[in-house]
Amino acid sequence: MTFINIEIKAKCFHPEKVEAFLVSAGADFKGIDYQKDTYFNVTNGRLKLRQGNIENNLIYYERSNQSGPKPSYFQLVQVQDSNALLDVLSRSVGKKIVIDKKRKIYFIENVKFHIDEVAGLGYFVEIEASNLMRPEKKEQELQAQCAVYMEALHIHEEDLLQNSYSDMLENILQ
């Protein structure tokens, strides 16, 4: 089944202020996940294997590169043996790039917040309003939720990023 996120990614100059807001808003802290995202060569969308101490998933998604809240259509498969899957995908389609990050994960209802420290890139905040656990939520409602939290976290238009971490790191490495 395909789900939808309305998501933003922004440069985060004060991660401690974002975290203070989330704590004061009663967000559910899921923990700190040390993640390795391996992106693979695919002809459509993006395919990544996330290996972490909290999240281990194969994720396929389609999203346009634009700043501001944008829809991302995704499929998620939980993975039991991520090392074996990494080996199979690496041999069959080839690795594109690997992203290492430390991610603090919070939830307020169906909205997921990430405070990321990405190796080679710095600090970021992500907001993902999703219908994964609330399928009745329509895209317009998710857009509104994302906008509310952008305002609450004082995320300005010039802070918004259009590219994925993989694109940003690839641009640095070229």
What Rg, from alpha-carbon coordinates, does the chain have? 16
pLDDT in tens, 33-49: 999 999 999 999 999 99
Q: Which pTM does this prediction carry?
A: 0.90
Residue given tokens 């918004």 in the structure block: 160
Q: Strand, helix or coil at 137?
A: coil
> Domain segments of the chain: what residues?
3-173
For 97-128, the pLDDT digits (tens) are 999 999 999 999 999 999 999 999 999 999 99
Q: Which option is the CATH number for 3-173: 3.40.50.300, 3.40.50.720, 1.10.1200.10, 2.40.320.10?
A: 2.40.320.10
